[in-house]
Structure 1
Amino acid sequence: MAHYEPPSTAERLGNALIRRLAEVGISIAGTRALTVRGRKSGKDRNVVVNLLTVDGADYLVAPRGNTEWVRNVRAAGEVRLGPRWHRIPARAVEVSDDDKPELLRRYLQKWHWQVKGYVGGLTPDSSDAELRDAAPSFPVFSLR
C-alpha cells in the first residue's frame, strides 16, 4: 500500500488559510498555490505546496506521500502554479527514485521544521542510504 500521512483537522484548517494567502500572492516560507485537474471530477483542485528550486529547476515534493494532489498530478500530467490572477502552467514529470535523495535532502534542509512529523524520522542529515530507502514513499515531480 502506498504511503500517505493524512493531515489533522488543525493542519487542514491551517493549510486552507495558507492556501488562500498563496492564491492572492502572499507566500509564507516558499508556499505556492497549486491547481490541478481532478482525476475523477475533472474540476480544478487547489492546494498549497512548498516549491523547491534547485539549480534553476522547480520541483514539487510530497512529504505526506501519495496524497490526492499527487494522484491528480499523475493523471493530469500538468499543473498551474501561482496566484489566481497569474497561474503559470507547467508539465509535471515524476522523478525516478534514484534521483530523489538529493532533492529530498534539499527539501528537508528548507522545510524540515514544517514536515518533521510525517517524514518517517528523516532529517537534513539523513544518510544517502536512508534517503534512497525512503524515496519510494515520497513522490517528487519536476516542473517543465
Structure 2
Amino acid sequence: MAYLKPPWFTARVFNRVAMATGLSGTQTLTVTRRSGGPQRIPVVVPEVDGVRYLVSTRGESDWVKNVRAHPNVEVNGARYVANEVPVEHRGRILAAYRPLAGKVVEGYWRKLPDDADHPVFALTPTV
C-alpha cells in the first residue's frame, strides 16, 4: 500500500497547532506505538449512520500500522476499539469524510485515487 509522507512543516508544526486548537475541526487521536509509547496526531472524525470513523488520507501511515497492532485508541480522551473497514464498504465513509476535511485532502486523492489506498477504521466506544 502507498504512503504519502507529510512535509516537515506539517508533521512538526501544523499538526501540533491543529491538536492544540482544534483547527479545521480536528480532534486528537492517541494510539499506542508498536514500541509501546503514545503517538498523537490530528484527525477529522466523520460520523456515518451513528458510527464514528478514522480515515487515513495519506495511505498506510505509521498511525495506521500502530492501530492495526494496538486497536485500542483515544479520540479527544474518549476510548474506542478501532476495527478496519473492508475496502468495499469504505465509499460512503470516504464520501462523508472528504467535505469535512476540506480541499487539502483532494490532492491526496489525486495521488492515491483508489479507496484501497485510504485505510478506514470504525470506532466502537469502550466502557
TM-score (norm 1): 0.79
Distance in structure 2 (CA, Å) of the matches to 1:16 and 1:117: 21
The CA deviation at 1:116 is 1.7
Match of 2:38 among 44, 47, 53: 44
Instruction: Specify the alignment match of 2:29 in structure 1.
Output: 34
Quick check: 1:135 aligned with 2:125?
Answer: no
User: Is 1:99 the equivalent of 2:79?
Assistant: no
Bigger radius of gyration, 1 or 2? 1
Superposition RMSD in Å:
1.6
Q: Percent identity, please.
A: 33
> Which residue in 1 is equivalent to 2:16?
16
* SS of match in other structure, 1:66: coil
**Shift in Å at residue 29 of structure 1?**
2.4
Q: 1:88 to 1:38 in 2, by over 3 A?
A: same
> d(CA) in 1 for partners of 2:82 and 2:15?
22
Q: Which segment is superposed worse, 104-113 or 2-11?
A: 104-113
With the length of structure 2 as denominator, give the TM-score of the two structures.
0.89
Q: Which runs of 5+ in 2 are unaligned?
A: none
Structure 1: tracts of 5 or more residues without a match: 123-129
Q: Secondary structure at the match of 1:79?
A: strand
Report 1:117-132 matches (<5 A).
Answer: 117-120=107-110
How many Å separate the matches in 2 of 1:57 and 1:49?
Answer: 16
Shift of 1:121: 6.0
Q: Higher relative contact order at CA 8 Å, sep ≥6: structure 1 or structure 2?
A: 2
Query: Which 4+ residue blocks in structure 1 deviate beyond 4 angstroms?
Result: none
Cα distance in 2 for residues equivalent to 1:98 and 1:6? 25
Separation in 1 of the partners of 2:100 and 2:23?
Answer: 13
Contact 2:30 2:40 in 1 (8 A): yes
